[in-house]
Amino acid sequence: MSEEASDDQRVVSPHISKEHRAPMPEDRDWLPFLWALPTHADLAAASRALQTLIHANIQVLRDNVLGLNDRVSHLESTCDLLQADQTHTSEVAGYQAEYLRGLAIHVDDLDNRGRRNKLRLRESSQVRQHP
């Protein structure tokens, strides 16, 4: 084989049969671009890398969702506890308000009794002075 023929075989792409005509000078301008195209193995490796990256991102999202689920569960349980505390506090406040109303009634009653007794004492002292 001549040196010129071996050069022609090197520039022939694996997708082009060897019986194809020898590349013309204008075709040789495209050959570097054709040789720069990724091969099947390159595309498979890139696909595997992308798949690994996607799986890693999905795992991170799952972890985030599980973490948020735990936080929501904790907030719901805390909310339930606070609601129970609020119910208890409302009941206690109701009892205390009722108790304070009763105390106010008793204080008013005692105040009224005290006024009546003072009037009685004044009346009795006035009665003693006049005879």
What is the rounded CA–CA span in Å between residue 63 and residue 66? 5
Q: Whole-prediction pTM value?
A: 0.45
Q: Are 8 and 22 in contact (CB under 8 A)?
A: yes
What is the rounded CA–CA span in Å between residue 122 and residue 124? 5
Q: Quickly state the pLDDT bin for 47 (edges 50, 70, 90).
A: very high
Which of these ranges, 35-39, 40-44, 87-91, 112-116, has the smallest mean pLDDT?
A: 112-116
